[in-house]
A and B are shown apart, each in its own frame.
Chain A
Amino acid sequence: MNVILGALAQGLLWAVMAIGVYITYRILDIADLTAEGCFTLGAGITCKLITSGFDPFISTFAALLGGLAAGLVTGLLHTKLKIPALLAGILTMTGLWSVNLRIMGRSNIAILRETSIISMLVESGLTKNMAAIISGTVLTVVVIAFLWWFFNTELGYSLRATGNNLNMIRAQGVNTDTSIILGVMLGNGLIALSSSLVSQFNGFADISMGMGTIVIGLASVIIGEVVFGRRSILNSLIAVALGSVLYRIIIALVLKLGMNSNDMKLISSILLVIALCFPAAREQVSRVLKNSLRKGGSTNA
């Protein structure tokens, strides 16, 4: 039971990260590796600010802003300098390593004794897992509600169409550069928001904690949509969040079988490989990768 509760807590904390990956990967049809650096960025900003005495909510909000900025850089590299999306993400991710070290000042910041959103909930009498489940659920529900609204606005429609058919949406008078930049910002903002909460749960930020983010994110998106459907935007958003939970449950069960936490990265890769055995998922990933190698601003016909 405790194992499942723990997995549920992890899954809900990481759900918003998976939703961020969903936005770039499924809505924009781009494989965006900014995610890896962005995950550390969100955690780093949060822990640095909290240890500097800032309010945990303000620190969390700052992480969101940091993620938006990282997305902006990738978006500009891709659309204005016409660098293929995959490479644009790698460039930002690599640059972020140094930026993150600068922000954190060292490679690891602990906040175990500081006040965080999780510690505030624990002080009010909850167990740590329950604190994570409640804060993760609240954040995930708010994010899903926001995105459901956003993707049903005029602007949201043009973002979705941009990922779907560049030719069509340009012919309808939409500046696709703006849509792409906006989408990449949104995705990375959410990734940083999620990692902020994760770092408050773990009690630390570490320079290498972002490694593997994209693999975990993709696995959650694919597992979620395969198991819980993708009929509409709302369906997909909920499915991806549940996919993140399912992913953690699977990991927890595998760890129970005798693997230890050093094997985590191997397990996450294997899980993604298994998820990619679904032909539809494999087709999608090939299409997105091909799309991510195009130079920015060209057509996706």
Chain B
Amino acid sequence: MLKLTNVHQKFEIGTVNEKHVLCGIDLHINEGDFVTVIGGNGAGKSTMLNAVTGTNMITEGTITIDGSDVTKEPEFKRAKYIGRVFQDPRMGTASDMSIEENLAIAYRRGKPRTLKWGITHKEREEYKELLAELDLGLDTRLKDKTRFLSGGQRQALTLLMASFHHPKLLLLDEHTAALDPKTAAKVMELTVKLVEENKLTAMMVTHNMRDALRIGNRLIMLHKGSIILDISGDEKKKLNVPDLLDMFEKASGEEMDNDRMLLS
């Protein structure tokens, strides 16, 4: 489904600030995989997702999605394959536009925008039902601007938008990190439900090791721009947090910086 071959990402090339953030990533994700991604602060997790989405053009390597080479395609063209939820809840929606307008924009992801009405009556009914399922009280607030929503409501809405039309790839970048623990748990639960019900192929960056172990069928760990661990299936199921820390130390030769990684 997704194939990264020898992907390198450098920033500010030729300046004293030159950074080599991704150092030859090779990753092959199969259809239906739900991959959790962990790694220390600055390891390159977001950069890896941004390489896939085309937010940043990679400096070397190739990226294919569902067999087509997208390495040179701009972000807006790749969008038809990809649903996305960002870490910052404000990033996922247009805050001066209403809930239903945001949904309607996402409903047309990857399609040409015409001079037809931006939203139809039929859609509105559909959105109402979908929002009612979220059980966050959004189904009566279709006309409210998203700037008035809480972080959790926005992430739930963005998740819904990202899962429209069965995207080939769902990318989640620490999408619960900015939420309080209770809301985070609820959004995570919704995430798992959406991925499982729609049988999506997903990659989820998380700072919570427990979630990383509990959720999905495969786990990869990034360190200084390289994948240092890749565990899947039964092997992943048997793992616990101390094992993971142990494996990190062996693979990287360093100690995990525990400040940001939530161990429980």
Contacts and interface: CB of A to CB of B under 8 A. Distances in A.
Interface in B99-114: 101-102, 104-106, 108-111, 113-114
A161 B96 CA distance: 8
Nearest to B88: A301
Contacts of A176: 76
B86 A161 contact: no
A153 interface: yes
Contacts of A150: 115
B115 A171 contact: no
A278 interface: no
A155 B79 CA distance: 17
Interface SS of B by simple majority: loop
Contacts, number: 89
Contacts of B114: 153-155
A171 B118 CA distance: 18
Nearest to A164: B94
B76 A160 contact: no
Contacts of A127: none
B77 interface: yes
Nearest to B106: A172
Q: Tell me if A's interface is mostly helix, strand, loop or mixed.
A: helix
Nearest to B104: A157
A164 B95 contact: yes
A173 B111 contact: yes
A152 to B, nearest CB: 5
Interface residues of B, number: 36
Interface string B192-209: 000000000000000000
Interface residues on A, range: 20 to 34
Interface string B69-97: 00000111101101010101011111111
B208 to A, nearest CB: 24
A152 B118 contact: yes
A154 B118 contact: yes
A134 interface: no
A168 B84 CA distance: 9
Interface in A149-184: 150, 152-158, 160-161, 164-165, 167-176
23 contacts: A152-B118, A153-B117, A154-B116, A154-B117, A155-B113, A156-B118, A157-B101, A157-B104, A157-B105, A157-B118, A158-B113, A161-B102, A165-B94, A168-B93, A169-B94, A171-B53, A171-B79, A173-B79, A173-B111, A174-B76, A174-B79, A299-B55, A301-B91
Interface of B: 53, 55, 74-77, 79-80, 82, 84, 86, 88, 90-97, 101-102, 104-106, 108-111, 113-118, 161
The 9 closest A-B pairs by CB, nearest first: A173-B79, A164-B94, A157-B118, A173-B110, A161-B94, A154-B113, A155-B113, A165-B94, A158-B113
